[in-house]
A and B are shown apart, each in its own frame.
Chain A
Amino acid sequence: MSIQLECKDLTLGYEGSAVAEELNFSVSEGDYLCILGENGSGKSTLIKALLGLKPQMSGEIIRHGDIKVGDIGYLPQQTAIQRDFPASVREIVISGCLPKCGLRPFYTKEEKKLAGETMARLGITELAGRCYRELSGGQQQRVLLARALCAAQKMLLLDEPVTGLDPKAQTDMYELINELNKSGITVIMVSHDFAAATSYASHILHIGAHRQLFFGTTADYLASGVGKSFSERTVSEENG
């Protein structure tokens, strides 16, 4: 398995103050990496850095082989603007092909075909003509996932993909991501869902306040006990 993405002594922050320091981890082809961390642990800053939208304060992000900036399919969290946006599913999915267009004003036949195939792959072909704002939360996430797959076929970066979904839709979403991963796509998922992370992911990166607590395989993570406090706290928060 070849390494696609590597972070060495990566420190991230805003205006001179670090939010996450000394991150060391790597992602290989076909991995399913889950980045766990509480709010304020610098998860979203890390996402921006991985996507190439934000420069790091120190350390480096190395993109190996054929992964370049822009080659990571990104599933962002939903914004308020999108919730009442009049757009059909087809229009949104094909907009994932836009980065390939450059200055060309229209989509080519191949791009339309790719959009159609991706919709079929995620089981949303029959929704193609529907309005995005009338879909359920789970369907909306599938649409955005299809768009991400149109933009990049090798690696996906998912930012809390199940937020706001009901339990059934959450399970469906996790299963779908798992299938995509099995078909060879590298997945990086940011989450604070301990249970899902440990049952699906192959690797875990756990970030605490300002520093990295753990990076390794899921089995090692469970054995190490680093996640124990996190899981107990999550459970007690949910119960309380």
Chain B
Amino acid sequence: MADLAAKLQLYFSYPFVWYALIVGLLIALCSSLLGVTLVLKRFSYIGDGLSHVAFGAMAVAGITGLTNNNYVVIPITVISAILLLRTGQNAKINGDAAIAMISVGALAVGYLLMNLFPSSANISGDVCTTLFGSTSILTLKREDVILCIVMSVIVISAFLLFYHKIFAVTFDESFMKAAGVKAGVYNLVIAVITALIIVLAMNLVGSLLISALIIFPALSAMRVFKSFRSVVICSAAVSVFCAGAGIFVSVMFGTPVGSTIVVTDIAVFFIFCIISLFTRRKAL
């Protein structure tokens, strides 16, 4: 036990461990806030789709040789998010088909570009890192951390400012439109915030596991809690706890950060399922 404590103390004397922890907790918080809305709006897969877009954009950014990939990735992802939510309304191509189309397309183009213009000798290693975010969170620079903090502040304050509107538009878009609320504007806000979160989260868990970060805390909270506010608060708490626990475990035992966090989320989900069995019985 003393051995473990000493090891922890050693690790936390390095700034990059602190960076990882700060970025990890912030991303977990942001993604869980919007997760509830996305799950309820039947947009669970938009996280997956957009993360593949971000992967493709990352490949493009790699070729252009910019110092910070985010300058390319963020705008492309935000535009795709807006387009995806737009097609959902127009229904010429169904929402899920549009998501599948864009996400698979971006994945293929991204991988192709990575192969045609390799930025390093180890292509499959690069791809694996981008998809699963294996160690990139431990190689964050100070600049990345500051960007992450700024984005998180934007996401969290936008969520708080629009909280009631997001709830109302998620629950019943047609009623709000009838009452003169510009539902389209708030859907746009949701799309933009979602895209920002996904770009941020790519650093932490990689593009394949982002959906997990968005949906698991929300699904866990929805098992047990009964009002929108308590679900949002619980899902944020669960997400932050799982991210913290996951990062500790991965630092201590050298497991990949992203998948460790997701496995923690899955474990909590099952615990909440069991709790909900008992509370339901009590209600009857």
Contacts and interface: CB of A to CB of B under 8 A. Distances in A.
Interface in A48-70: 51-53, 69-70
A70 B178 contact: yes
B42 A98 contact: no
Contacts of B174: 53, 74, 76, 79
A98 B41 contact: no
Interface string B204-216: 0000000000000
A88 B228 CA distance: 7
Given A86-B225, A88-B226, A51 B178 contact: yes
A107 B164 contact: yes
B171 interface: yes
A131 B179 CA distance: 24
Contact of A74 (B162, B178, B227, B283): B178
Contacts of B226: 86, 88, 130-131, 134
Interface residues of B, number: 30
B228 A91 contact: yes
Nearest to A75: B175
A45 to B, nearest CB: 13
A134 B283 CA distance: 10
Contact of B179 (A91, A130, A134, A152): A152
Contacts of B229: 88, 91
A52 B181 CA distance: 12
A147 B167 CA distance: 14
Contact of B227 (A51, A86, A95): A86
A85 B40 contact: yes
Interface in A72-124: 72-74, 76, 79, 81-82, 85-88, 90-92, 95-96, 98-99, 101, 105-107
Nearest to B283: A134
B163 interface: yes
Contacts of A88: 226-229
B86 interface: no
Nearest to A73: B179
Contacts of B225: 86
Given A86-B222, A88-B227, A106 B164 contact: yes
Nearest to A131: B226
Contact of A151 (B40, B164, B167, B179): B179
Interface string B153-196: 00000001111110110111011111111000000000000000
B238 interface: no
Query: In this complex, which of B41, B178, B181, B231 has the most chain A Cβ atoms within 10 angstroms of its Cβ?
Result: B178
Contacts of B160: 105
Contacts of B222: 86
Contacts of A70: 178-180
Given A76-B175, A79-B174, A87-B167, 16 more contacts: A51-B178, A53-B178, A70-B180, A82-B172, A86-B225, A87-B171, A88-B228, A95-B168, A95-B171, A98-B176, A99-B176, A99-B179, A131-B226, A134-B226, A134-B283, A144-B175
29 contacts: A51-B177, A51-B178, A52-B178, A72-B178, A73-B179, A74-B175, A74-B179, A76-B175, A79-B172, A81-B40, A85-B40, A85-B171, A86-B231, A87-B167, A88-B228, A88-B229, A91-B227, A91-B229, A92-B171, A95-B168, A98-B168, A98-B181, A99-B180, A105-B163, A106-B164, A107-B164, A131-B226, A131-B227, A151-B179
Which A-B residue pairs are the 6 nearest by beta carbons? A70-B180, A131-B226, A88-B227, A74-B178, A99-B179, A95-B168
Interface of A: 51-53, 69-70, 72-74, 76, 79, 81-82, 85-88, 90-92, 95-96, 98-99, 101, 105-107, 129-131, 134, 144, 147-148, 151-152, 157
